[in-house]
Structure 1
Amino acid sequence: MPSLCNVVVLISGAGSNLQALINASAKPGSLSRICAVVSNRAEAYGLERARQAGIETHVLDHTQFADRETFDTALMEVIDRFTPDLVVLAGFMRILSTGFVTHYRGRLLNIHPSLLPRYTGLRTHQRALDAGDLEHGCSVHFVTEELDGGPVVAQAVVPVHAGDTPETLAERVHTQEHMIYPLAVSWFAQGRLCLTERGAELDGQPLPLTGHVIRS
């Protein structure tokens, strides 16, 4: 029987993507096991989601550390207690240091609310509307030193409707996030997804720059 993939999830807020991952890991046949949820904010509702699922939680307040590197070192110490096979960023609102990214290279995933490489950073829904885009969406990618610039694993594409606001567009994108993030994690847990010198690979084949694309 294949071994379980130990996953640590990092959050800062409500944790809706965390909930999607919890739900997916509870399904029969899942090979992912969320062994801990860590937040840099004590008030993050995602911590309550984890507790309700019986998952161990930790809070590490970044404001109590002198600089980014010191916080990231402490964060790595917490994460590594659980010997994770994969670290998942689910709304973790921190820019990570090079040392942190290097330490977890090839086992660090993030989800971003745009069709990368478009709209790295913040306010992605407003920026898509301002640009008059006909399509928008979200991307799961391996994390590298470049902000939102690591190899894309999967993208979900949604249409932009006339009269959309950032809020209505975000709602449709969130629905897709909750589908493609568990999918990408399951690929990793099954040993199908990896990061190589050629970029992201699925089943031994290099993925295109846009990753595996799903259209709604």
Structure 2
Amino acid sequence: MAKKILSLIFVFTFSVFAQLVGPKASAQITEYNFGDIKQGDVVSYDFKIMNNGGDVLKIIDVRASCGCTAAQPDKKELKPGETTTIKVTFNSKGRKGAQIKTVKVITNDPEKSDINFVIRCNILVDENNDKPSGAVLFLPESQFNFGQVKEGTTVSHTFELVNKGTDILNIKDVRTSCGCTAALVSSSELKPGEKGTLKVDLDTKGRQGKMSRTISIMSNDSEQSTKVITIYAEVLKN
């Protein structure tokens, strides 16, 4: 029984001694919320790490959860009682909505080698600046079905074109898949936000049964230089 008590006393004493002699990393604040910020803002917060142990605390590594976050300690070695700052910087460019990022600080603390710092924010997007760069051709509808049509009839449909980009949209060419289809644009240039039309005529003379034709629109769209519209019809014998 006495040996057991002595053993427990030894373990307890050794544990206390290790805490006093060895390095011990601590941080009072491990999380910070920036609240609402604008897209593109770069924000920073200084976290503090203190060495509450009895030996030199070494910061071995600092790892951020993504490339949008950077963290750098002022000092990498702390004497007992010393404090250093971990400056965490977050770049909100290209991001939106709620964000949670973490920074892991790895030390030589024998009891708890990792300290995780967390930053939060909500990125607000200016709708006027959220448009894709360059010209962007948007088609509210990319296909149309004329249904049943008597042979020899010419039918038409008008498609809407919208420039949802930031530069002038230039429609360079419009090509149809056969001579039975004609297409005419209202304007070859559309300013950002401007709308236009594309009128498509289908001549069913000499045709019969189900048919489909395509119209290709070539432009300076920064994402897709060629966009295709498809029309359908079922031609009934007259």
Output the TM-score relative to the length of structure 1.
0.21
Larger RCO of the pair (alpha carbons < 8 Å, separation 6+): 1
TM-score, length-normalised on structure 2? 0.20
Asked which structure has the greater CA Rg, the reply is: 2
